Amino acid sequence: MVTGSSLSVSHCLNPDAMRGIGSYLAQVHNSNKTFFAKYPDQSFVEGKEPSHPSVPKDSLHYGVCHGDFHCGNYLLRTEESKEKDNHSNFKVAAFDFEELEKGWFVQDFRRVIWDLTRILNDHCPMGESLFP
């Protein structure tokens, strides 16, 4: 059983929680080299056609992404850090990989940013907004 909590306002305002999400996505995206070596025929992973021709389609920017990394598809939990230099004790448990796809890594981060702004905007004082 996976334990943790959904993304909340307190997580959005916590740099360690945000660092934990970023670190998790970096690990997923960095695992592409292993994934491509293990599964050379990736016809089961659909790709999207380039919509931003200025973004390079290389292994640093493009590869297998979660494809649906919104706050309903992962949980955050805290753990004691065993490493001295690890500033984040937040760990991510992701699930729902049915929309796994080839794409730009920034696509997964785009969804995180959308969730952050939506959650924070929903909790602004009455009549105020993050976006005028």
Residue reference for tokens 């990394």: 69
pLDDT surpassing 80 at residue 118: yes
Report if residue 4 sits inside a domain: no
132 occurs within a structural domain: no
Domain that holds residue 13: 9-122
Q: What is the pTM of this model?
A: 0.77
Give the pLDDT of residue 32: 83
Residue 1 domain-assigned? no
Question: What is the sign, positive or negative, of the torsion defined by CA atoms of 83, 85, 22, 35?
Answer: negative
Average pLDDT of the chain to the nearest whole number: 80
| Position 51 pLDDT exceeds 80 | no
Question: What confidence score (pLDDT) does residue 21 get?
Answer: 92
Domain count, the chain: 1
pLDDT above 80 for 113: yes
Q: How confident is the model at residue 25 (pLDDT cuts 50, 70, 90)?
A: very high
Strands (E), the chain: 46-47, 62-65, 74-78, 90-94, 101-104
- Would 108 be classed as within a structural domain? yes
Residue 104 has pLDDT above 60, yes or no: yes
Q: Is residue 100 in some structural domain?
A: yes
Token duo for residue 4: 């943790």
